[in-house]
Every structure is written in structure tokens, then in C-alpha cells.
Chains A and B, each alone.
Chain A
């Protein structure tokens, strides 16, 4: 089974400043990590490889620093790692990001059976890139997968849990899934694999190696949207409404007073 896992490097803390002119996150000097949701995608990809054999290829779009994240992906057991990196790709929204990833996968990953993405990222938070990749590649997609079932006859069965409904779907491969948080317990990076992958190369893929050479499809040129302004939501003026029954409300209020040490 040839599996592609899409991962992204995100800020390692929530204390990130925003560039007011571009609306982008200021990433310089901020510690970075693998998007926590993508760890579930990597784990599912690696578990499928353990069950059925094959390879796991990690791909990402981002700056050169993403190599650090890819080395960590090697430490988790990934076989190949590609970073799609070029000035042409900068300033991409969901549309252009998903197009770049789809083109990158088409250009360098060859045939694949399955693409696994995390549910969303902790910085962009759109949860749209995964399904959008499947649209560009014209392959079936199921989002928010909570369980992987049978894989047979070129098809994969997955389940989604909604509030009061559980939906099972059988997808013809190649296909794409995005996986929910807590579908599994992500493995930790291994020092043994670090040693074993020391000679492995993280492939840096630039625009020149892409099949579609029309630069207007990428980066800010290829984006349909742009961020006007990012701002924290306004506070609610310190008001707190309590609408439960009297006993519960009294208890909650006491809890707040004790918590703030008024009593």
C-alpha cells in the first residue's frame, strides 16, 4: 500500500504575533512543531503500512525549515519526505495550498493508494485543505474519519461519528481521508529510527519540478481569498450568564468566588 501523509509545520506555542499588513503569522524565531492533528494522520498511515506493507511518504508545503519536521517524521517511521518549497508558493490560501499539494503529489509521489490528512491545522483552522486536495486530484474523500475498517479489493472502509449517527463508507482507492483527533494514540519519535534515518534525505521540491508550470495557480496569485485582518474576538465585558436551576447556579457561583478567593 502506497500512502501519502500530508503534514504541516505550525507554531509550537499559542503566543504568535500576526503581521498586520499581510495578515500572515509571524513565524520567524517562533518554535515550530508538527501540527498536532497531523500526528493522527501519520499514525494511521504508519499503522496501515504495518498491516498491509508498502510505504509512507510525508509531504508538506512550507519554508526550508520544514526539513526539521520531516526529520521528525523519519523518527516516527516515514519512508520518504518531500517539502514543496518555493517563493512562488508563498501567501497561499486554501485553494492555492490544496492545489500546490495536489500538484506536488502528482509530480513526485507517483501512483498512490491513499492520502491521509489531519482534520485541520492549529494555525489555519479551516479543515478544508484535505478535501480540497481530493477535488483537485478527482479522487473520493471522506473527512473526520474516526475508525479504519477493512482494506480489500482496492477499497477501504472507514467510519465517521456524528453527534447521534455513525456513518460507514467504503471508498475506492486511490482516495483521501482526513482523520479525527483521538482516532488513535500517535507514536512518539524514536531515537533508534533517528539513527537509522540519519542518511535519509528530505527532498526539497521547487516550482521548477512541478508538472503545472503556470505560476498564476500558486501562492497569492492562485488564491481566491486573502486575509484582511486578524484580531482577537471582543470580550463580553466580564458578564457571565447563569441559567441553570437555583441550586446549581448557587454552587457554580460559590465555585467562582472561591476560585477568585473572594470567599
Chain B
């Protein structure tokens, strides 16, 4: 790999000439926010220049220049990632798509909407409601951008019932590392015409190309939705209930897990009070449907399953106030954890849904072995747990030494249980090593070949997902 070209004033002037002077920031004009994502704990990296693009043409012109001059480019959406996917490891150009934030075209005959990548998830979700339709993917971070969601194949709480972001991408316009503009996927329902490159790009974390327009699928809006809050005396009973829902025909939209400790932290640090907070473990279930009777019937049957599985009780949230009370606490989990400890490390390992109990037990043992507090919560219905290692008052050096060892054991256990390194946060640069260990040489060689096919100069988001030899 040739050394990357360092940007000069002349380069910056050129970038200004193909975009706009007021949308190009250089050196001390660059805000610190562009050095990191939501996990600065994984390191902060200053870009040499930040360009805020407004159009496909601008993205294409920037990439063409970067390609010709061997400048690394890091695409960035809202910067809410949790794996360092949008931080410029090698400096160069940080190409922000945050201003490409227009919803371009609704087509309710085909139930699709075309958006620019900088549209926020919550903006799309709200706009869909205004159109009388539904965009289901709901990652915890609602201020994330659609572009970022597609590039990390974001999941979120409703993935159990509605699937992950991938299920909602119809086609995309994308700028290749050399600046050429291509179309991936097609606005058709069936397609066996060649390799499905679109599905390869989804989840590629901006390492293959930059999506500049996305046609997303929307679905019929559910008219009714109830939530159940289910307290359990033990983790085993709590998580042990999950496979029973997977087997049932009740089709929950969400199956979330929260331990008692996290509910107390949300109360202590954020004053967000769960309506019930004395039990050891909680499941939060959501049921959506088109009629009140259908939703009530499924809630009744779900309550029966929970009580037969050892739940202390089952509580019904059937009004906006009650649902908000529960989901606000669930949604504040990461914020509460961040408030509870000066530093933390995190991962979002995913295991088969019937192995979560085994995995949680293993994590508990590591907590004792390493003396590090571990918080486990998350999408029980997907087997996708969010695991945080909390530094608390441990010496920082010791935490930085022990933390990775503990993480490695978690990753090894995940592999043993047929799990994966990340369920939805992605690899970024933070989990590159874990991915290499997990996938093995043959797979990483294949990954490198794929990367090479798109970006033989390795200028687009280098150092993410894979390291080149």
C-alpha cells in the first residue's frame, strides 16, 4: 500500500471549487465532533479536511479527486456509530453526508420512498406516519442517519417482528471509490439478474462505495400496539421464555431484556422510572396488529406463556403514557450506563436465541474472574445482547489491560455457541481483530478480495472491517 497523500492548501482549494467554500473545513476549523463517533473510548482521529457534500455530483467529484491523488476518504452520516466506523483513521477527507438530508419521493403504489443518506431515522419514521405508512427499523439511536443504518445494516428493537434494515432497502445509487456513479439493486420485487451486489454493500460500513440515494421499502401501519412488561425472579426463567415466543404464532414485534441493575441505573442517573422495578430480570414484549382484538388475544396468550414460564406477573401497557413509561427506560439504557462509569467498553455479540442463557452465565463468570462489572441487556428476541464492560473506579491502565482479555473470552465463547462478533453495531475499526480471529484466514482473504474489487487503492474508509496486509 502506497503512503496516502497528505492534503495541502491547494487540495483544499480544489475541494472548495468542486463543492462550496463554506462547506469545506480545514485544520483548526474542524470541530472535535468529527474526530469520533459515539464511542470516543475507541480512540479519536482528526480528519485533515471535512467536506459537507450536497449532491451525488459533489460526492463523485470528491471521490474522483481522492482516487487520482491517493487520498483516504471516510464517509460519515450522523456520527452515531458505536464501533468507530466513521472516524478517519488515516486523516484525509472526512466526507460528511449530513446535509444530503432530503426525502425525495414517495411512491405509495410501490410502497417505497427515495431518500438521501443524511435523512435521520426518526425523520423517515415520522414522515412515513404522515403518509399513513410505516418504516419499522428502530435502532436505539433515532438520530442516526439512514445512510449509516444501511451501511451497518442496523437492527434495533423491532427486528424480531419486522427484520433489520436490509429488509427495507430496495435499491441504491452509489458513488464508487473512483468517482463513478452506479446503481445497485432495482425497483422490482423479484430479481435473479446477476450477483446481488446491493446486499453486499448493505452492512459494508462505507468500505465499498458511498450510497447517495436510497430507495427504501415501507409497509402498512399497524393500527394497534400493546407492550407487556414481564418481571422474573431469575435470569434463567426470563431468557428461557424467549424461545417459546419464537416457536409460537404470536409474532412479537420486540422481545427486549433488561436486568434489575440497569433499571435502577436509569432511575438513579436519569430519573427515568420503570413502573415496576423490584424483580431480578425483565422482558419487554411488543405486539402490533391491525385490530384491537387480535393484539389483545396475542397479549393474553403471551401473558399465559410468561406466567407458565415462571414470570412473577405480566403488566399491560395499552396507552401511550404506559408504553412511554416502559420504552423510555429501555431506550435510555446506554445513556444510563455511560452516566454510571467514567469509561466503558462495549460489544454487541449475537448468539442463537436459545443460547443466550449460556452466554449470560459465562459473562457472569468473567465478571468475577476479571473484577470488571459487566452489564448485559438488549435484544433477547434476536439473541443480540449489548454487553458493556464498566471501568467504574478501576485503575484505567488495569482496565485497558484486563478489558480486552475479557472481551476476547466473550468473542471466543460467542464462536463456540455459533454466534457472531456483532449483531448490529458493526466492526468499524474497534472490532477488526475480533473479526479476524472469528472468521479465520480463508474468509478474511475473501473479504480482502471483495474490498479490492471495489477499491483497489484502498482509499475508501480504510482500516474498517478488515486490515489490508
Name A residues whose Cβ lies closer than 8 Å to a Cβ of B.
12, 31, 33-34, 36, 39, 72, 75, 185-192, 261
Contact = CB atoms under 8 A, between A and B. Distances in A.
A72 B318 CA distance: 10
A190 B102 contact: no
Contact of B275 (A31, A185, A191, A192): A185
Contacts of B38: none
B261 interface: no
Nearest to B316: A189
Per DSSP, chain B at the interface is mixed
A185 B325 contact: yes
B122 to A, nearest CB: 12
27 contacts: A12-B319, A31-B292, A33-B318, A33-B319, A36-B321, A39-B321, A75-B316, A185-B273, A185-B275, A187-B276, A188-B229, A188-B276, A188-B316, A188-B317, A189-B315, A189-B316, A189-B318, A190-B313, A190-B314, A191-B300, A191-B303, A191-B307, A191-B313, A191-B314, A191-B315, A192-B314, A261-B102
B101 interface: yes
B101 A261 contact: yes
B64 interface: no
Among all A-B residue pairs, the 6 with the closest Cβ atoms: A188-B315, A191-B314, A191-B303, A189-B316, A33-B319, A192-B313
Given A75-B316, A189-B318, A190-B316, 9 more contacts: A12-B319, A72-B318, A185-B275, A185-B325, A186-B275, A188-B316, A188-B317, A191-B314, A191-B315
B415 interface: no
Contact of B319 (A36, A190, A192): A36
B448 interface: no
Contacts of A186: 275
Contacts, number: 44
Q: Which of A75, A185, A187 has the most B CB atoms < 10 Å from its CB?
A: A185
A12 B322 CA distance: 12
A188 B228 CA distance: 9
A39 B319 CA distance: 11
A34 B317 CA distance: 12
Contact of A188 (B101, B307, B322): B322
Contacts of B318: 33, 72, 189
Contacts of B313: 190-192
A195 B80 CA distance: 45
A107 to B, nearest CB: 31
A36 B307 CA distance: 28
Contact of A187 (B275, B300, B319): B275
Q: Which of A34, A186, A191, A192 has the most B CB atoms < 10 Å from its CB?
A: A191
Contacts of A39: 321
Nearest to B229: A188
Contacts of B319: 12, 33-34, 36
Interface in B298-353: 300, 303, 307, 313-319, 321-322, 325-326
B97 to A, nearest CB: 14
A190 B315 contact: yes
B301 to A, nearest CB: 11
Q: Which of B307, B317, B319, B326 has the most A CB atoms < 10 Å from its CB?
A: B319
A72 B299 CA distance: 15
A186 B300 CA distance: 21
A191 B316 contact: yes
A33 B226 CA distance: 13
Nearest to A188: B315
A172 to B, nearest CB: 33
Nearest to B267: A185
A77 B71 CA distance: 67
A33 B325 CA distance: 16
A188 B319 CA distance: 10
B224 to A, nearest CB: 8
A33 B316 CA distance: 13
A187 B231 CA distance: 13
